[in-house]
Amino acid sequence: MNSRRDATRGGVRGFEALYREHVGAVYGLCYRLTGQRETAEDCTQETFVAAWRALPQFEARSALATWLHRIAVNKVIARHAGLAAKVEIAAADTPDERLREAAGTDATPPLDLERAIATLPDGSRHVLVLVGIYGYSHTEAAQLLGIAAGTCRAHLHRARQLLGQRMGLDEETS
């Protein structure tokens, strides 16, 4: 918890050290959850601003990285909920369109894993990222995302199916 203590004592300068230490993990999570660079940058910034404000209430019972992850997931989910409430998702933002855009052709050839993850529907992508990449349990992921554990499992199953199809994997490897 040294970085947290330094951040509390050292003001904004101290907090910058904490930011430098954790920005890679926070941005990586935000990027994979959103699938979009600019949105991930915004969420990363919002995460650190929120962390700065909540730092005095941070309890050393949980790891700082885990705490930042939780804030980051909340920021992504809140942004996603806000966007969904404001506008219907534009046609160019649907998974299939994103897939074509990522592949650069209408023929949709097999994609690499990172780009295939970015094309998944939001719910499936969120679960796949938290459970598949970051190693959260279904219960933890469901809690973070505010969904039921059963829904979490269904999303993961769907994500794996879609990834297998989009990456051209056979049944055994997917």
Residue 157 touching other proteins (CB under 8 A): no
Distance separating alpha carbons of residues 144 and 62, to the nearest angstrom:
15
Would you state the structure tokens that stand for residue 110, as one six-digit string? Answer: 């097999």
Query: Which of residues 40 and 76 has its CB atom nearest to other proteins in the complex?
Result: 40
DSSP state letter for 36: -
The Cα angle at residue 76 between residues 146 and 60, in degrees rounded to 5: 75
Residues 6+ apart with CB under 8 A from 21: 3
The Cα angle at residue 29 between residues 84 and 129, in degrees rounded to 5: 80
Min CB(111)–other proteins separation in Å:
8
* Binders of other proteins in range 8-67 (CB under 8 A): 12, 15-16, 19-20, 23-25, 27-29, 31-32, 37, 40-41, 44-45, 48-49, 52-53
Could you list the residues that contact other proteins (CB under 8 A)? 12, 15-16, 19-20, 23-25, 27-29, 31-32, 37, 40-41, 44-45, 48-49, 52-53, 110, 112-114, 128, 132-135, 160, 163-164, 167, 169, 173-174
